[in-house]
Amino acid sequence: MDARATTGLLRHFQIVSDGRRDNVSHSLANILSIAIMAVLCGVEGWAGVETWALAHVDWLKTFLDLPHGIPSHDTFGRVFARLDPLKFEQCFQAWTKQLSQSSNGLFVPVDGKTLRRSWKRAWSRTPVHLVSAFVAQNHLILGQLATDCKSNEITAIPKLLAMLDLAGSTVTIDAMGCQRHIASTIREKGAHYILAVKDNQPSLFFSVRTTMNEGIRERFKGKAYGYWEETDKGHGRVETRQVWVSTDVKALGHDLLKAWPGLASLIVVESTRRGVREPKGKASYERRYYISDHAHTDAKFFAEGIRQHWGVESMHWSLDVAMNEDQSRVRMGKGAENLSRLRRIAINKLKDWQPRKPNGKPLKIGLKLKQQMCGWNPQYLLEVLST
């Protein structure tokens, strides 16, 4: 057994400094290695990391130099509380860039998530809120950034986008991120945008809704437009989505076109949902509106991008259900944010790993069972690390 399984990952984290004095008992490389492996095995906190390491100390000593044994849970807590989250994030992105090679031509949803039990004071209840960028097609988390405690996603999204290599991709963001400076940042990175429009941008929302609703009523007579329809069945209901896209943006007026960088198309998605046992006439309807700088009318393309945006919710579901993130009580310093980054490292690794049966056929299991396999057999853990 050797350290090759961990060095491939850890070489991207060499620029991170933990701020401790020089004569420390436990190296940062060992602390990172043990923490990453423990989280891959399903551990949820620093006490669990220490306990997992103590249970595997003989195995760990075959490829880690541990002259002072296993660090205590307090040591893990102090180190990760002091780690510079921006440096850690830069290293994380360098690693994910190697995994993804390029996001060119892909959809990159950006969305926020709150670590609900990470608030520092019981009377303030101000938990850590993270903004993440996610490649929908291959379920790869590109990066994350915490919002400032006095701000929100609007300030964090441009900072995160500025750190990523987005050339050629299409960034999708919900209505919170429908801001002119965010659209400008995306275009400066050589990417395109699809932004949801709601009444937090009242003038834009009114104009887009009026233009598209009139276009649908008049069947876009004399105007360039595209149409796509798809139907899904599942979870006891049938949902039909109709998508219209128009490049007739002049109807918005000169002022709005000048204010929104590169705005070239308007999109509306109408969803009709009906329970499989409901009468035919009983259904719910919803229309959602979007803007984009893509200057074409391929409605299927926009339908795919908007649909894939909700794939980020599957990542949030994995963090909450498989990794129990919402129940984590880590609060000291930057510990909650940095532990969350370890979970995202684990998700990227586990999603990319395909365990197989003895006959060579793929074993189709979820994230939680993959974590348990790593905990049951160190050989599986090494396979994940080497993936």
pLDDT tens per residue across span 36-92: 899 999 998 999 999 999 999 999 998 888 999 999 999 999 999 888 887 887 777
Q: Which pLDDT tens digit goes with each residue over 257-298?
A: 999 999 999 999 999 888 766 666 577 889 999 999 999 999
pLDDT-based confidence at 230, cuts 50/70/90? Answer: very high
DSSP H helices, the chain, are 4-10, 28-40, 46-55, 57-60, 73-82, 85-100, 153-163, 180-188, 202-217, 254-259, 299-309, 311-317, 335-352, 367-376, 378-386
Q: Are 163 and 143 in contact, with CB atoms under 8 Å apart?
A: yes
Question: What is residue 282's predicted lDDT score, i.e. its pLDDT?
Answer: 73
pLDDT at 346: 87
Q: What is the model's pTM?
A: 0.79
Q: Which helix (H) or strand (E) holds 387?
A: none
For the chain, give every domain's residue range. Answer: 4-88+330-386, 198-303
DSSP conformational letter for 120: S
More confident residue, 29 or 203: 203
Q: Say if residue 176's pLDDT is above 60.
A: yes
Strands 170-173 and 192-197 turn out to be parallel
Q: Which of 14-28, 119-133, 329-343 has the highest mean pLDDT?
A: 329-343
Q: Give the mean pLDDT of the chain.
A: 84
pLDDT grade for 6, boundaries at 50, 70 and 90 = low
pLDDT of residue 2: 47
The greatest distance separating any two alpha carbons of the chain, rounded to the nearest whole angstrom, comes to: 77
- Integer Cα distance of 128 and 148 in angstroms: 9
The whole-number pLDDT of residue 372 equals 93
Distance CA 210, CA 187 (A): 26
**Over 39-94, what HEC string results?**
HHCCCCCHHHHHHHHHHCHHHHCCCCCCCCCCCCHHHHHHHHHHCCHHHHHHHHHH
- Which one is predicted more confidently, 154 or 6? 154
